[in-house]
Amino acid sequence: MTFEFEKHISVMRNEIVENIKDNFSTKDLIIGADLTFGGGGHVFSILEELPNTYVYGVDQDPDAIENGKKKIESSPYKEQIELIYSNFVNFPKIFSDLKKHEGLDFITLDLGVSSHQFDKFERGFSYREDGPLDMRMNYKDDEVLTASDIVNTFEEEDLANLIFKYGEERLSRRIAKNIVEKRAEKPFLTTKELEETVFLSYPARQRHKRPHPATRTFQALRIAVNRELDVVSDVIPLLYPLLNDGGIIQIISFHSLEDRIVKWSFKDAAKEDDQLKILTKKPVLPTQTEILNNPRARSAKLRVIKKITS
Ligand SMILES: C[S@@+](CC[C@H](N)C(=O)[O-])C[C@H]1O[C@@H](n2cnc3c(N)ncnc32)[C@H](O)[C@@H]1O
């Protein structure tokens, strides 16, 4: 049986697996966590190459968890994966409450959305086809504001600041002004409605350039809806105490705002704790071959930090 999640090609799969192999290939039992389980691509690759591994797999997307359960059931690794439906910011507490293992040899994060989330128009992440303006990774959590809640209720200035800060969009003020004008006629409910307003906010000669005019505004809303930057900066410091001696944290990010957080969190931690050593002075980038095969990988950056043996 093929699951929709198999459409997602894992980014920097080899690098993620090799880092674990380099550090732990002689260990009898490797314990790790993938805090962004998604389609399970990284987890299954790790298990295939290092079958003596036990992994906690975390995702806040109900679809990822449903698909993951089925995939795990029909795999040889049923006893070796514990799937956890939660925001990863809660993982450190969940892990210590479970009291199953003392610590972790590796922790992996592959941030952002999966192809499954992006390609499923009902989820509202994409403007390529019409869908509800939602963008919640955890669409069962009614306490999370959707993208349409934000677009229809935020003050013009707050909207402009959000689009500027999270989308690095130069035309944020004009876009926010046009959104506010348009929503006075009728609230925004779908992705295409928003795409059209953003498109028309661009000067005519720039509308057909790449990236599409709506790209930055959609990125900004997605980051705001899922509080993507906050949860990353909140969780990283909570992960170091979970590491076994020799344990590694590897994080793949997809845009400069996220990468900056990872870079500075690692730097600060290494400065304060001489047991923590950054293994990637510069971020590791995907190979040209990978980018050719999977254009989604083009903006990926991988950073790794290690807890050295005391
Ligand atoms: C890029 S995909 C991961 C793909 C996965 N590495 C693979 O190879 O199949 C990112 C996944 O992380 C999940 N995710 C993102 N932020 C999260 C958070 N704060 N808490 C839990 N899951 C999160 C998303 O729902 C998505 O399924």
Q: What is the pLDDT of residue 1?
A: 33
Q: What is the pLDDT of residue 309?
A: 82
60 has a pLDDT exceeding 70: yes
> Which of 36, 43, 95, 301 has most ligand 1 atoms within 8 Å of CB, for mutation?
36
Q: Who lines ligand 1 at CB under 6 A?
A: 8, 10, 36, 38-42, 58-61, 64, 87-88, 110, 112-114, 137, 231
Nearest atom within ligand 1 for CA of residue 232: 19
Cα of 60 from ligand 1 centre, angstroms: 7
Domains defined along the chain, listed by start: 4-116+228-307 (3.40.50.150), 145-225 (1.10.150.170)
201 has a pLDDT exceeding 60: yes
107 has a pLDDT exceeding 70: yes
User: pLDDT confidence of 2, banded at 50, 70, 90?
Assistant: very low
Residue nearest to atom 12 of ligand 1 (CA): 36
Which pair of structure tokens corresponds to residue 11? 């980014």
Q: What is the pLDDT of residue 3?
A: 43
> Which of 114, 116, 123, 141 has most ligand 1 atoms within 8 Å of CB, for mutation?
114
267 has a pLDDT exceeding 70: yes
Return the half-sphere exposure (C-beta side, CA atoms, 13 A cut-off) of residue 230: 8
Residue nearest to atom 20 of ligand 1 (CA): 87
Residue pair 245/307 in contact (Cβ under 8 Å)? The answer is: yes
User: pLDDT confidence of 7, banded at 50, 70, 90?
Assistant: low
pLDDT per residue over 168-180, tens digit each?
Answer: 999 999 999 999 9
Strand order in the sheet with 30-34: 81-85, 53-59, 30-34, 104-110, 243-253, 301-307, 276-278
Average pLDDT over residues 130-159: 97
Cα of 121 from ligand 1 centre, angstroms: 18
